[in-house]
Every structure is written in structure tokens, then in C-alpha cells.
């Protein structure tokens, strides 16, 4: 920790602004207050686990008042019995061990809380409290006051208790239990020791093995029978058919062997196979529980809003109860949940969730305001035009693309191969049977079953899960989070890339500011910076950060005129900063008005304007140039084409640029490309891309902060890794290559095994060796290859 960073949150403290308290330095009063709270309750251990772990508490006055509404809070609370209540709250700030510690010691700050338990991967805290002593509202405020603001959205309102599906874990446990015990009990059989007492106990061992195999056969493997049955029904031969067939034949033959006292059967191989395949399934499922890929507008929207009643009283109401004609009160930083008309004089609305546009839009009284915007600044009043479900943005979700639940849009590579595999396998089995039936009926039966047993495509079925599981983890470490393994196959097939402009290829973290006009002297620059310092308008803040660091001077007079600009006096100069009309800019031609700019006038001289241009992401030009070699590139934008010229300079020739696209049009655009047979990857960020993301073959959402906002998609990419998009595409193609290579390898095993089987020599011992050997080779092969490809540069 350097001397100049805040003890609580670690932010660098600007000169002369530090607050000293208790021999510690703080960047603001908020951080200091949190420290005070903690030290008051002897909780300063918080700072021992991690350096500066905290977050500055936000000013959230009145934000959680809706929790007093019984109807709303009862929806959020998980459990209520007498005065004991349990609530799970989502806290995006949870990020380190200090967070866990402080949240699990909440009971020392707030009496009434008995237990609080953190689930770190899900970023949730589960609080058990006494509802007579403390209310949900005060818990929310307490958490906010210590910098752990809970995130409560409309989603919490609807979802009941979600049941976690643990059946795979049970199945795996059962399979492992059976497999391990059968292996132990089969040991005497492997060595064929002709010893009197071993022979004596053979039936006992075999009956035990049979009994132990039952749960594995009936329960653990049940998924394969169901899947095989479904695939026969839909006339799509998938990999589960030969697997199910192999397992069933193996079981029937082994039972027969034991009953007729021919041998020990293949129960060891059977249970081993089931276990390894379930293990592969488990490995493939890598979930990022702190991310959500299924988000719709519900996770953005607040759960309640303040309504102004006829008698001017204010009341928190659930959002679904908001009706046309109601008057709503929207506070600073609150989301506008419905379309409506602005009643207050002025509003600054930030549509960055919706469009990715960083600069807020100014609305005047009587203007239409759309749902999804965030109010910045003063409290505003608005009148509702449409209810939630009928608002402009939410209507996008009534599009059919969001309605149908597509389980699987395409055939996986494994299924494609098994379409040939299954008929060939049956052909070999029957021809072997046909050949032997004339020689010896008993051998014919043995050969037939042995073929189906040994050819059971265990290694084949393991290839894809282990390759994709590995790739999924490798990408996850590099901040590309995929929804599931199927996305990798889709990524490899993509041939057309469609990018959204604002927020996706531009960053909304900073704007590129260019000054045009008469040069500003150093003295005036100092003046400007000091004037801007007092303003809270986002454009002023951006310009303030852009201007060089200076000394502080006193501003004699300061006035901020909402929606217009700033008027200030300092050092006997009159400074006006603001819109073109306000500053009386001499050049008011129309083409320039579309650009976002701040104009400057000092005394009576018009100096010029600071233009805010889109800042494209680093490495964009290189990335586009690289990608254009292998992919068709297109840029879709909801904005007007004011940026066309700038953009054309960056993107390679032949890139299609389409402007003025509404969310529905974006969706239609993707659909049209797909009808032409193209595999489309959509890269977007805001809610307005949600339709296009859902429609596309692969929807990738770019997120500045992966913990918070991203629309429903197949993959979430951290914005800092944007320039590595090509790497991820390449890696997914390599993973398909790995799968193909290991398919060849596993087919070799099958050929060897078939050699034994068709000649009638498949002993249980041979099967017991081939099966795990092939599994281990395949698993290690794909793991090594996946890691090799991910670390090589992939030129």
C-alpha cells in the first residue's frame, strides 16, 4: 500500500483531499465512516486479511424504502416462521476473504442477526435474523453503509426457491461406490488361482458382485437409456445408443455367465465404464455460479418504485402494480422501469445499460422517456404511459426467440460420428454372429455380445466432454466465460462476425476528447479545471479528468443550469461552459450538433469546443484486420451515422457498417444472415442487443464488469480481453481438431478390442484392461493437447 492510497478502499487519494482519522488515511468521508463502524465493533480485523478490501458506500437514501412494503419483502425473504426469517442477498462486491469475514460477523454490528453465511462463488450472503428486532430494510441499509450494497432486482421478486439439481453427483457417487467394491471383489478372478478355498467362495463373490452392479446399472446409467430411447424416437442416432446397448448387453451376458457358471462376467468393466463416463459429464459442466447467462430485463429492473398518489403521498409499490397514468418518483441512480412522459423540468438520463452509450441524454418536460434509463442527478417525476410488460424495451422479450426453449439447435460432433458408428457396429456384430452360427451356436452368442461390449464407445464418448471441459476452464481463466461446452463447437463453426458499436467496440469507460478552437492558455486551463471541479454533470467529470492536474484556486461564484451548462466567476473572469446554444457558439450548423461537445466562453470571447468522440477499444484495428482474413465482419449500430467516417478509417475495407438499427432490426438482420446459411456470432453488450444475441448462433456479451450487467448470451467476455477475441476463436477450432485426433485414437482401441471379440477370445480380464487403458490414454491425450494449444501462440 502506498502512502497515498485509502486505507479502506485502496483508491489513490488526490492531493490535499485526504482525511486523517485514527492515524489512517481515507479518501472520503464514506470510507472513514465504514472504518468507524468497524472499529466501534472491534471488527478492524477486516483490514488484516487483505489490504484495502473495502468499497466506498454509495449514497442510497430512500433506495430500499420499498422493503417496508410487506408484499415486496415477503417475496424476497426465503423463509419466515414466527419471528425468525432467512434471506439470501446478492452482493456483487464480495471478492476476498475480508469480505467473507466481515459479512459472517454481521451479528456483532447488528443485534437481531443471528447467523450470516457467505456463499463466495455465488456472491451471496444468507442472513438469519429476528424480524422483531431488525427489519429487512435496516439490514439492506446496514450492508450498504459498510460498502456491501445488496443487489435486489425484479428477478428476486419472481423466482421462488430454486432447486439445485444434484442428481449427477448422486449418480457419480453410486457409480464410484459400485465400481470400487466390484474391483476389489473381482481380484481373485483376475489371477485364476486354482486354490481350493477360492473356488469354494466363488459363488459368494459373484453374487456380491452382481448385487453391487445393480445400482450402477439401474440408477447411475439410467440417463443413457433415456437419452438413447429419445434419440431412437426422433430418428437421430446419437452416441448414447451404442453406449446404452453396450451396457445392457454387458449386463445381460454377465448375468447369464454367472447364473450358468461360465465365468465372472464383465461387471467390473461395466461399472468402471459407467463411472468414467459420468465423470466426463461432471467435468464438462463447469459452471460460473456468479455469472448468469439467462438474464433478461428482470435482472436489470428494480423490484419496486415510488408512486405519488392523488393526495401527494409517496408509496413504494411493486413494479407490476404500476399502471398507466400513475405518477412515479425516480431518484438519483434509479432505473426508469416503464415508458412515460417527463413531468419535471429537466432530466439527465443514462442509457448505458440499453445502448452502451456513456453520455447521458438530456430530456425536457413533456419528452418521452423510455424504460431502462437511469436518472442521474435530481429527483424527477414522470407519468406512466405503458405498464412494464408493454414498454418499448420489454416488448423485445415477447419476440418468439425468447419464448422457445431451444435445447439443442445443432448436432454435436460426437453425434455426427456416431451416426456412422452405430450402423457399422451392428453390422460387425451381426456378421460375426452370422459367421459363427454355422460353426458353434454358443460361440456365436459369445462373439455377438463381445463385439457390442468391447465396441461400447466409452473412449469416444469421453473425448468431447474432457476436451471441452478443459477448453472451458482454460478460457475461463482468460476471462472468456462460456455458458456450456456446446458453445465451443459453435464458436469453431462461426464464419460471420457481427459487432455492435457503442459499448462493444467502443469503451464507455473514457471518452476521447478533442479540442477545437482558439488555443487555451495555461492560466485559463487552470480556471476551467477548477470550475469543472464543482460540477457533477458526467460530461464535466470526463472533461475534468481529461484536463491536466493543476493547483486549486477559489471560485467566486458558481451556478449550474441544468441541461444548459455552468456559469462561474473566478479571478475576475466570467466563464461559461456548456451546450452550443447556451454558450452562444457562432457556428451552429446542423452537422455539428449531432456530436457531443462542451463549448467554452471566457468573458466575451468564444474559445471553442471539446468534442467527445467514441473511444475505440485498444487493439481494435489490429483485431479487425486479423479477423477479416477468415471472417466476414459487420458492424451494427443503434446510433446515427455521425461516426461513419471515423469508423471507416479503422475497420478494414469491405466491412459492412449499418447504422440506425433498432433492437428488432438487429435481430432481423442476424436472422437474414442465417437464412443465407451463415453461422453468425454476435458481439454485443447492452440490452438492445439482447434479441440479436439470442438469435445468433453464438452470442458473446462484452462486459466491463463481469459481476454485474450482461444480457442473456452464450458467452461473457471481459472487456479488457476484447482484443484477444481471435485467440478464443482459434482455440475453439483447435479443440475440434483435438477431438478428431482422439477419435482416431479411440477407434484404434476399438479395432484391437474387436479383433479379440470377433475371434471369440474376449476374456473379462482383457476387457478389464482395455477399458481403463483406453480411458486413461484419451483423457491424458486431450488434456495435454488442450493445454499445448492454449499456451502456443496460435498464429
Partner 1 sequence: MSVIYLLISVSICVAVGFFIAFIIAVKSGQYDDDYTPSVRMLFDDETKNIPQKNNSPTEEKQV
List residues binding partner 1 (CB under 8 A). 30, 33, 37, 40-42, 45, 48, 57, 59-61, 97, 100-101, 104-105, 108-111, 117-122, 138, 141-142, 144-145, 164, 166, 169-170, 173-174, 177, 180-181, 185, 197, 200-201, 204, 208
Closest approach, Cβ 93 to partner 1, in A, equals 15
- Asked if 738 and 467 touch (Cβ cutoff 8 Å), the reply is yes
CA distance 681 to 697: 6
**Cβ distance to partner 1 smaller for residue 119 or 344:** 119
Strands 565-570 and 557-561: antiparallel
CA distance 570 to 557: 7
Angle of helix 764-791 relative to helix 267-284, nearest 10 degrees, comes to 20
Taking alpha carbons only, the member of 315, 368, 356, 306 closest to residue 335 is 306
CA distance 50 to 119: 18
Closest approach, Cβ 92 to partner 1, in A, equals 16
Closest approach, Cβ 484 to partner 1, in A, equals 19
* Local structure of residue 11 (DSSP, 8 states): P
Q: How far apart are the first and last CA of the chain?
A: 39
Closest approach, Cβ 576 to partner 1, in A, equals 35
Residues 6+ apart with CB under 8 A from 671: 695
Closest approach, Cβ 334 to partner 1, in A, equals 17
The neighbouring-strand residues paired with 382 are 328, 342
Count how many residues are written for the chain: 795
* Local structure of residue 162 (DSSP, 8 states): P
Taking alpha carbons only, the member of 130, 132, 102 closest to residue 117 is 102
**Cβ distance to partner 1 smaller for residue 42 or 311:** 42
Closest approach, Cβ 102 to partner 1, in A, equals 10
**Cβ distance to partner 1 smaller for residue 145 or 418:** 145
The neighbouring-strand residues paired with 299 are none
**Cβ distance to partner 1 smaller for residue 42 or 675:** 42
**Cβ distance to partner 1 smaller for residue 288 or 546:** 288
Phi and psi angles of residue 207, each rounded to the nearest 5 degrees, phi first: -65, -40
- Asked if 349 and 374 touch (Cβ cutoff 8 Å), the reply is yes
**Cβ distance to partner 1 smaller for residue 104 or 345:** 104
**Cβ distance to partner 1 smaller for residue 142 or 658:** 142
3-state secondary structure of 381: strand
**Cβ distance to partner 1 smaller for residue 60 or 555:** 60
Closest approach, Cβ 97 to partner 1, in A, equals 5
Element (H, E) at 643: none
**Cβ distance to partner 1 smaller for residue 93 or 634:** 93
**Cβ distance to partner 1 smaller for residue 119 or 783:** 119
**Cβ distance to partner 1 smaller for residue 140 or 702:** 140
**Cβ distance to partner 1 smaller for residue 30 or 356:** 30
Three state DSSP letters for 669-690: HHHHHHHCCCCEEEEECCHHHH
Closest approach, Cβ 256 to partner 1, in A, equals 24
For 243, what's the count of Cα atoms within 13 Å in the CB-facing half-sphere? 31
Scan for cell 475480508, then name that residue: 98
Closest approach, Cβ 147 to partner 1, in A, equals 11
CA distance 86 to 68: 16
For residue 82, count CB atoms less than 10 angstroms from its CB and return exposed for 0-12, middle for 13-18, buried for 19 or more.
exposed
3-state secondary structure of 534: coil
Closest approach, Cβ 197 to partner 1, in A, equals 5
CA distance 295 to 709: 9
Closest approach, Cβ 274 to partner 1, in A, equals 16
Scan for cell 459481476, then name that residue: 707
**Cβ distance to partner 1 smaller for residue 97 or 783:** 97
Closest approach, Cβ 241 to partner 1, in A, equals 30
Pull the grid cell for residue 11: 483508491
Closest approach, Cβ 377 to partner 1, in A, equals 19
**Cβ distance to partner 1 smaller for residue 208 or 650:** 208
CA distance 761 to 755: 9
Closest approach, Cβ 182 to partner 1, in A, equals 11
Question: Within a 10 A sphere around the Cβ of 556, how many other Cβ atoms?
Answer: 11
Taking alpha carbons only, the member of 371, 366, 364 closest to residue 386 is 371
CA distance 391 to 341: 12
**Cβ distance to partner 1 smaller for residue 170 or 262:** 170
Closest approach, Cβ 434 to partner 1, in A, equals 43
Phi and psi angles of residue 439, each rounded to the nearest 5 degrees, phi first: -95, -55
- Asked if 458 and 277 touch (Cβ cutoff 8 Å), the reply is yes
Strands 374-376 and 346-350: antiparallel
Scan for cell 478509417, then name that residue: 649
Angle of helix 764-791 relative to helix 167-191, nearest 10 degrees, comes to 130
- Assign residue 421 a region (left: φ > 0; alpha: ψ between -120 and 50; beta: otherwise): alpha
Strand segments, DSSP code E, in 98-191 are 113-119, 124-130
Closest approach, Cβ 212 to partner 1, in A, equals 8
Q: How far are the Cα atoms of 45, 55, 78 from residue 126, in angstroms, in the given order?
A: 21, 20, 9
**Cβ distance to partner 1 smaller for residue 174 or 239:** 174
**Cβ distance to partner 1 smaller for residue 203 or 755:** 203
**Cβ distance to partner 1 smaller for residue 69 or 97:** 97
Taking alpha carbons only, the member of 757, 486, 469, 717 closest to residue 617 is 717
Phi and psi angles of residue 66, each rounded to the nearest 5 degrees, phi first: -65, -15
Closest approach, Cβ 181 to partner 1, in A, equals 6
Closest approach, Cβ 521 to partner 1, in A, equals 42
Amino acid at each position: 500500500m502506498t502512502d497515498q492510497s485509502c486505507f479502506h478502499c485502496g483508491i489513490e487519494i488526490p492531493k490535499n483531499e485526504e482525511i486523517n482519522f485514527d492515524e489512517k488515511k481515507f479518501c472520503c468521508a464514506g470510507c472513514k465512516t465504514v472504518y468507524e463502524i468497524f472499529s466501534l465493533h472491534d471488527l478492524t480485523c477486516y483490514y488484516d486479511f487483505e489490504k484495502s478490501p473495502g468499497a466506498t458506500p454509495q449514497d442510497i437514501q430512500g433506495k430500499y424504502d420499498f422493503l417496508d412494503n410487506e408484499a415486496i419483502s415477503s417475496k424476497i425473504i426465503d423463509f419466515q416462521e414466527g419471528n425468525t426469517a432467512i434471506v439470501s442477498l446478492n452482493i456483487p462486491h464480495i471478492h476476498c476473504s475480508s469480505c467473507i469475514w466481515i459479512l459472517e460477523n454481521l451479528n456483532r454490528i447488528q443485534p437481531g442477526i443471528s447467523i450470516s453465511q457467505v456463499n463466495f462463488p455465488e456472491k451471496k450472503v444468507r442472513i438469519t435474523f429476528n424480524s422483531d428486532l431488525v427489519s429487512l430494510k435496516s439490514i439492506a441499509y446496514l450492508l450498504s453503509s459498510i460498502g456491501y450494497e445488496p443487489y435486489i432486482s425484479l428477478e428476486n421478486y419472481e423466482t421462488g426457491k430454486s432447486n439445485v439439481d444434484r442428481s449427477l453427483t448422486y449418480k457419480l457417487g453410486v457409480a464410484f461406490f459400485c465400481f470400487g467394491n466390484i474391483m476389489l471383489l473381482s481380484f481373485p478372478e483376475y489371477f485364476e488361482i486354482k486354490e481350493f478355498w477360492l473356488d469354494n467362495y466363488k459363488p459368494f463373490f459373484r453374487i456380491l458382485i452382481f448385487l453391487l452392479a445393480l445400482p450402477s446399472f439401474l440408477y447411475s446409467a439410467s440417463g443413457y437409456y433415456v437419452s438413447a430411447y429419445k434419440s431412437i424416437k426422433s430418428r437421430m442416432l446419437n452416441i448414447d445408443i451404442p453406449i446404452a446397448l453396450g451396457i445392457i448387453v454387458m449386463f445381460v451376458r454377465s448375468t447369464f455367465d454367472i447364473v450358468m457358471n461360465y465365468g465372472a462376467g464383465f461387471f467390473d468393466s461395466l461399472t468402471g465404464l459407467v463411472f468414467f463416463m459420468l465423470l466426463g459429464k461432471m467435468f464438462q459442466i463447469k459452471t460460473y455460479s456468479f455469472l448468469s447467462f439467462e438474464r433478461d430485463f428482470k435482472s436489470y429492473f428494480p423490484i419496486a418504485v415510488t408512486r405519488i398518489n392523488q393526495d401527494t403521498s409517496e408509496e413504494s409499490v411493486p413494479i407490476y402494480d404500476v399502471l398507466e397514468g400513475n405518477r412515479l418518483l425516480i431518484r438519483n441512480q434509479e432505473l426508469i422501469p416503464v415508458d412515460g412522459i417527463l413531468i419535471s423540468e429537466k432530466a439527465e438520463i443514462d442509457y448505458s445499460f440499453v445502448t452502451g452509450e456513456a453520455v447521458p441524454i438530456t430530456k425536457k418536460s413533456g419528452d418521452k422517456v423510455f424504460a431502462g434509463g437511469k436518472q442521474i442527478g435530481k429527483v424527477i417525476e414522470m407519468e406512466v404511459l405503458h405498464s412494464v410488460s408493454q414498454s418499448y424495451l420489454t416488448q423485445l422479450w415477447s419476440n418468439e426467440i425468447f419464448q422457445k426453449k431451444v435445447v439443442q439447435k445443432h448436432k454435436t460432433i460426437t453425434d455426427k460420428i456416431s451416426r456412422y458408428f452405430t450402423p457399422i457396429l451392428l453390422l460387425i456384430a451381426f456378421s460375426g454372429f452370422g459367421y459363427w452360427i454355422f460353426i458353434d451356436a454358443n460361440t456365436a452368442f459369445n462373439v455377438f455380445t463381445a463385439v457390442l461390449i468391447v465396441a461400447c464407445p466409452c473412449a469416444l464418448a469421453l473425448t468431447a466432454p474432457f476436451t471441452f471441459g478443459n477448453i472451458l476452464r482454460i478460457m475461463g481463466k482468460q476471462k472468456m466465460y462460456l455458458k456450456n461446452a456446446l458453445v465451443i463447437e459453435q464458436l469453431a463453426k462461426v464464419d460471420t462476425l457481427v459487432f455492435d458499436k457503442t459499448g462493444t467496440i467502443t469503451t464507455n469507460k473514457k471518452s476521447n476528447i478533442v479540442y477545437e478552437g482558439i488555443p487555451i492558455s495555461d492560466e485559463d486551463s487552470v480556471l476551467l479545471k477548477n470550475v469543472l471541479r464543482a460540477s457533477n454533470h458526467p460530461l464535466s467529470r470526463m472533461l475534468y479528468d481529461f484536463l491536466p492536474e493543476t493547483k486549486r484556486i477559489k471560485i467566486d461564484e458558481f451556478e449550474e443550469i441544468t441541461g444548459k451548462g455552468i456559469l462561474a466567476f473566478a479571478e475576475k473572469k466570467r466563464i461559461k461552459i456548456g451546450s452550443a446554444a447556451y454558450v452562444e457558439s457562432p457556428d451552429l450548423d446542423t452537422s455539428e450538433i449531432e456530436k457531443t461537445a462542451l463549448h467554452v466562453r471566457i468573458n466575451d470571447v468564444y474559445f471553442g469546443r471539446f468534442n467527445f468522440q467514441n473511444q475505440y477499444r485498444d487493439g481494435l484495428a489490429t483485431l479487425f484486420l486479423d479477423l477479416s482474413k477468415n471472417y466476414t465482419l459487420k458492424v451494427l449500430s443503434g446510433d446515427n451515422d455521425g461516426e461513419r467516417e471515423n469508423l471507416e478509417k479503422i475497420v478494414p475495407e469491405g466491412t459492412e457498417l449499418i447504422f440506425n438499427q433498432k433492437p428488432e432490426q438487429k435481430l432481423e438482420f442476424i436472422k437474414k444472415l442465417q437464412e443465407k446459411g451463415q453461422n453468425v456470432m454476435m458481439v454485443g453488450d447492452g440490452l438492445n442487443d439482447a434479441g440479436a444475441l439470442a438469435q445468433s448462433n453464438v452470442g458473446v456479451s462484452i462486459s466491463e464488469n463481469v459481476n454485474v450487467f450482461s444480457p442473456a448470451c452464450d458467452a461473457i467476455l471481459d472487456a479488457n480481453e476484447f482484443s484477444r477475441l481471435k485467440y478464443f476463436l482459434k482455440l475453439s477450432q483447435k479443440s475440434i481438431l483435438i477431438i478428431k485426433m482422439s477419435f482416431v485414437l479411440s477407434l484404434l482401441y476399438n479395432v484391437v478390442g474387436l479383433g479379440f471379440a470377433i475371434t471369440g477370445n474376449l476374456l473379462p480380464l482383457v476387457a478389464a484392461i482395455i477399458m481403463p487403458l483406453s480411458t486413461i490414454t484419451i483423457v491424458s491425450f486431450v488434456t495435454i493437447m488442450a493445454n499445448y494449444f492454449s499456451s502456443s501462440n496460435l498464429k
